[in-house]
Amino acid sequence: MASIVEICNAALINLGAETIASLTDDNKEARLCNQRYEPCKDSVLRAHPWNSAIKRATLAPNSTAPVWGYSNAFNYPADCLRVLRLDDTTIPFAVEEKAILADSTALDILYVSNISDPNKMDILLRETISARIAAELCYPITGQMDVAKQFWDIYHLKLSESRGMDGQESFVGQIDADTWLDARK
């Protein structure tokens, strides 16, 4: 069973720091992990449409219409970190202040959700979050800016690896050539 503490401890081990038993421990490492875990997790989740974080929802308009430009506003689902697309790709829309503006009476959306349970995350997603935490905590823990830069590089490599593996689990469908491409033959 994965836990937030295990994700943080993986980062601390990579930094050569003492591990923690809880985010509420009375030490520097626990306080830093407690402060940075959620923002790091949210940033990593927003950085890619992770398969383990994708959800679908049907939204009804809220009671306050936009002042101009669109006929309705739709509040984000409570756990929405990023709107990926509408099911009906012909509907123009805009995202403003955690709401989707559109000329529609209902919206079916695909979005990245804010996963709170690490057990619902893919292992590579958990490792990427851990790498982000290590990068952010490196300087406060080690005081070495050059080492902190190396941990940011490691984070970006882990993010790239994880995105690649995650992307291989989705079927995009057949890409059909259009008449412009056919004309070039």
Please answer whether residues 81 and 125 qualify as being in contact, where contact means their C-beta atoms are separated by less than 8 angstroms: no
The predicted structure's pLDDT at residue 167:
86
Please answer whether residues 102 and 93 qualify as being in contact, where contact means their C-beta atoms are separated by less than 8 angstroms: yes
> Is 71 found in the same domain as 56?
yes
Q: H-type helices in the chain, by residue range? A: 4-15, 28-46, 123-142, 145-167, 179-183
Query: What is the residue range of 136's domain?
Result: 4-49+121-167
In a domain, 174, yes or no: no
What is the domain count for the chain?
2
> Is 61 found in the same domain as 95?
yes
The predicted structure's pLDDT at residue 171:
58
> Is 72 found in the same domain as 57?
yes
> Is 159 found in the same domain as 77?
no
> Is 100 found in the same domain as 71?
yes
> Is 42 found in the same domain as 68?
no
> Is 106 found in the same domain as 21?
no
Burial of 34 (0-12, 13-18, 19+ CB in 10 A): middle
CA dihedral 62, 63, 65, 67 (to 10 degrees): -130
Sequence-distant (6+) residues with CB within 8 A of 182 are: none
The predicted structure's pLDDT at residue 50:
94
What pLDDT digit, counting tens, does each position of 119-133 carry? 999 999 999 999 999
At 168, is the pLDDT very low, low, confident or very high (cuts 50, 70, 90)?
confident
Among 71, 96, 113, which residue terminates a domain?
113
What pLDDT digit, counting tens, does each position of 89-115 carry? 999 999 999 999 999 999 999 999 999
